Amino acid sequence: MSTHRSASGHRLYPAYCYRASPTYNTWVKLTAADIQALQSESAFPGQHIYFHLNHPIRYARLVGVVVAIDDINLKYTVLTIDDGSGATIEVKIIRLTPDIYNFVESPSNTAVDNVNIFSRLGLFRIMVEDDEMEIGTVIKVKCTISEFRGQKQLEMKRVWILATTNEEAQAWAETAAFKREVLSSPWRISSVEHKRIKKEIAAEKRKNQERERLKAEHEIARQGHRKEREEYVAKREVKLEARRRKEEVMMNAGALV
């Protein structure tokens, strides 16, 4: 198993091992400071994969207070979130512009199903289902991670307004527990687990190859059936045309009597 060291000095595993990671395919409970401190690696250019120690992270869940709302343009609205971790972070909401928004097919006028933005002269409101989000609102938000002008930026995928201190305390407790139980130490894969991962990948490869083989056989059979049908129709058309001509000759002959 080839590995190399991350910028923080921790062992990075090959990408095929990430299926076993406790962070790769989950909404990782992080603070704004944690997100701003995530490291990128040259081995994953443009893939929006970041690392905490050697934990690969693509998705984040954040809890904090909305301290600023910027109505950038018809395409984007940006929130600034402060969670008391010593850093703030921007959360971008992608809006569906009038040329692509369809109120029949779209559950909302943004890329987030439960968020609507209403903007016109003298009015700007962000609604999360039936509740308005404004400066001072405490939210729990799930996002993808990217960068903008050298700073991490999040793109909102789902959001909840935390209306009570109990909800906020529970969310913070979940963040603390995840950090303590998962993120506090580097991710390690045993040789036994690595062998299991490689076996799973090999089995999936064989399964995909078998699926492609069956798909190819089905396509060949389908084309064969279509060709047989076309040949049958062509022969039938020839017979019908011959019959039509014969009947036409007989009718013409009768007309001459």
Give the domain-ending residue among 159, 188, 217.
Answer: 188
Whether residues 199 and 229 share a domain: the answer is yes
**CA-to-CA distance for 154 and 249, rounded, in angstroms?**
81
Whether residues 97 and 126 share a domain: the answer is yes
Whether residues 75 and 172 share a domain: the answer is yes
Whether residues 19 and 142 share a domain: the answer is yes
Whether residues 145 and 212 share a domain: the answer is no
Give the domain-ending residue among 188, 219, 238.
Answer: 188
Whether residues 112 and 229 share a domain: the answer is no
Whether residues 132 and 112 share a domain: the answer is yes
Give the domain-ending residue among 134, 168, 188.
Answer: 188
Whether residues 109 and 165 share a domain: the answer is yes
| Domain count for the chain | 2
Whether residues 174 and 52 share a domain: the answer is yes
Q: What is the pLDDT along the chain (257 residues), one digit of tens a residue?
A: 555 655 567 888 988 999 999 999 999 999 999 999 999 887 777 788 999 999 999 999 999 999 999 988 889 999 999 999 999 999 999 998 877 777 667 788 999 999 999 988 888 999 999 999 999 999 999 999 999 888 899 999 999 999 999 999 999 999 999 999 999 999 999 989 889 888 888 888 888 888 888 888 888 888 888 888 888 888 888 888 888 888 777 777 766 55
Whether residues 196 and 181 share a domain: the answer is no
Full-model pTM: 0.75
Whether residues 209 and 123 share a domain: the answer is no
- Residues of the domain holding 53: 4-188
Whether residues 165 and 194 share a domain: the answer is no
